[in-house]
Structure 1
Amino acid sequence: MKTIQDIQAMLEVFVNEREWQPYQSPKNLAMALTGEVGELVEHFQWISQSESQALSEEALLEVKDEMADVFIYLIRMADKLGIDLIEAAEVKIEKNAVKYPIEKSKGNQLKYSKLT
Structure 2
Amino acid sequence: MNLDELTQRLHAIRDRNDWRRFHSPKNLAMAASVEMAELVEIFQWLGEDESRRLSAEQLEHAGQEVGDIVLYLLLMCAELGIDMEQAVRAKLADNERRFAT
**TM-score exceeds 0.5:** yes
1:72 maps to amino acid: L
CA distance in 2, matches of 1:81, 1:38: 23
2:27 is matched with 28
Gaps of 5+ in 2: none
Task: Find the counterpart in structure 1 of residue 53 from structure 2.
Answer: 54
Query: Which residue identity does 2:13 align to in structure 1?
Result: F
Moved more, 81-90 or 6-15: 81-90
Note if 1:6 corresponds to 2:2. Answer: no
Aligned residues: 101
Q: What CA distance in whole angstroms lies between the structure 2 residues aligned with 1:53 and 1:37?
A: 18
Residue type matched to 2:15 in 1?
N
CA RMSD of aligned residues (A): 0.9
Structure holding more helix per residue: 2
Partner of 1:79: 78
| Aligned AA (2:18) | E
Partner of 2:62 in structure 1? 63
Larger RCO of the pair (alpha carbons < 8 Å, separation 6+): 2
Shift in Å at residue 101 of structure 1?
2.2
Q: CA deviation at 1:43?
A: 0.4
3-state SS of 1:43 partner: helix
Residue identity over aligned pairs, in percent, reads: 36
Which runs of structure 1 show a deviation greater than 2 angstroms over 4 or more consecutive aligned residues?
A: none
1:98 aligns to 2:97 (yes or no): yes
Which segments of 5 or more consecutive residues in structure 1 lack a partner in the other structure? 103-116
Q: 1:73-95 CA deviation, whole Å, 9 max, x = no partner?
A: 01110111111111111111111
User: C-alpha distance in 2, partners of 1:49/1:96?
Assistant: 25
Deviation (angstroms), 1:49: 1.4
Q: Secondary structure at the match of 2:43?
A: coil
Cα distance in 1 for residues equivalent to 2:93 and 2:58: 34
